[in-house]
Every structure is written in structure tokens, then in C-alpha cells.
Amino acid sequence: MAVKTSDEAKLRQDLSRSSTPTLVPSSSESSISEYEYRSSFPKNEIIHTQSTQANGNNITLQKIVTSTAFQKRLSRQSSLPWGHKPSPLIGASCFLFLLPIPLLIRACCPVSACLLGCVTVSSYLSDHVYTGLESWTHTLDRVMAPMAFASNLYATYCTCGLGWACLSLPALKCHLWANYYSKNGMYDQFVIWHSLWHVVGVGVILFCFTLNGAVGKCWEGSRWEESFMNFS
């Protein structure tokens, strides 16, 4: 009887143990869940980062396009407050940009020479023919003029040196003074300083490339090399 009672108690104890739910996952379950978490987290993080960067780029591009300075540069409107009032002095000074072209070609700077040729046309149309009027030539000149200035500044630096390139600062100062007088509606002063912007800018290029007598390597071995050397 005692043996039977002990057997029943042991059986009840085994049944109670088997019915108790386990709260600790097995090693296989734990490793699977951990793998799923680790594999899913970086992917979601990458997607979130990429979307954030895309949104940031879109916002930056939108700010640039909608900025006032960008819209003014691409505007067809003239920035001069006195309307259509062409100056023969400014119109004549636009053709000075043609003078450095032979020196730039001799120094193997075709891009700078080409940009000066384009600026000759754009500046004459914008500063003289359509001055004070709405025209696409204002947009063209606002784009071409900085490109030509930067290209010739770089060509002067590469061909003549840093000290020679720094001589372009007075030309830039003339341009800033011309903008100042145009914003304040001072026509006569604007004509003087805008003409000086053309004259000084061209004069610096002529001065640097003439004194240095730079002949580019693109002419080596050609029949033009001797002619250029004699010319310099």
C-alpha cells in the first residue's frame, strides 16, 4: 500500500512538471530570433538612411532653384534701374575682349579664347543693344561672364604664375563698384566703372601673356612655333 502511494505521488509530480510551460527558449529558437532581428535591422536602417539622404538632396536642390540670387541670374530682366539708355563707351569696350584671343591661342588656352569670343557677343548685346530691356541676352551674359573670368584667371595662373593672376583683383573691384552704382541709380558713375571693368580685365590678360611670351606645348614641332617665338 505504501509502495502504491509513493508511485502515485511520483506520477503526479512528473505530470505537474510536464504541464509547466517553459519560459526560456531553446538554443535553436533563440539563435533564429536573434538572426532575424540582426538581419532585419541593418536593412531597415539602410533604407531609412537612403530615404533621408534623398530627401535632403531634394530639399537642397529646391532651395538652390528657388533662391533669389539664382532666379536673378537666370532672369531675362535687366538689372539697370534707368531703363534703355545705351552708352557708346560701354558698347565699344565690349569689343576689347577680342584682343587677348591670339595670345591665348598661342599659349594653348583654347577654352579661354573661345569664352572671350562668346563674351564679346553676349556683353555687347546685353550691355549695349538690349540694355535696360527684357532679353535673353542678359541671362546669357550673366552665365558667360563668370565662366570667362574664371577660365582666364586659371589660364593666367597656369601659364604665368600666381602673382600674375592676382593682378586681376583691380578688375574685379571695378566690377563691384559698377554694381554698386547701378543699384544706387548713378548712371554716369556706372558707365565709367563698367567700362573700366572691361578695360582693366582685358589689360591684365594682355599684360601677363605679352610680358611672359608664353608659347604652349601644343605648338611644339609645328611650323607656327618659330613664328610665335619670333612674335614674342
Residue 85 to residue 48: CA distance in whole angstroms:
57
Predicted confidence pLDDT, tens digits, the chain (232 residues): 544 555 666 656 665 555 544 444 444 444 445 445 445 545 555 555 555 555 556 666 566 555 566 667 688 888 899 999 999 999 999 999 999 999 999 999 999 999 999 999 999 999 999 999 999 999 999 999 999 999 999 999 999 999 999 999 999 999 999 999 999 999 999 999 999 999 999 999 999 999 988 777 887 766 666 666 665 5
> Residue 61 in contact with residue 54, Cβ under 8 Å?
no
Euclidean distance between CA atoms 163 and 156, whole angstroms: 9
Q: What angle do CA 58, 61, 64 make, to 5 degrees?
A: 150
Residue 3 burial (CB < 10 Å; 0-12/13-18/19+)? exposed
Number of other CB atoms surrounding residue 9 within 10 Å: 10
pTM for the whole thing? 0.67
Residues of the chain by 3-state class (helix, strand, coil), percent to 5: 80, 0, 20
In whole angstroms, give the CA distance from residue 152 to residue 101. Answer: 11
Alpha-carbon gap, residue 8 to 223, rounded angstroms: 119
Strands of the chain (E only): list them: none
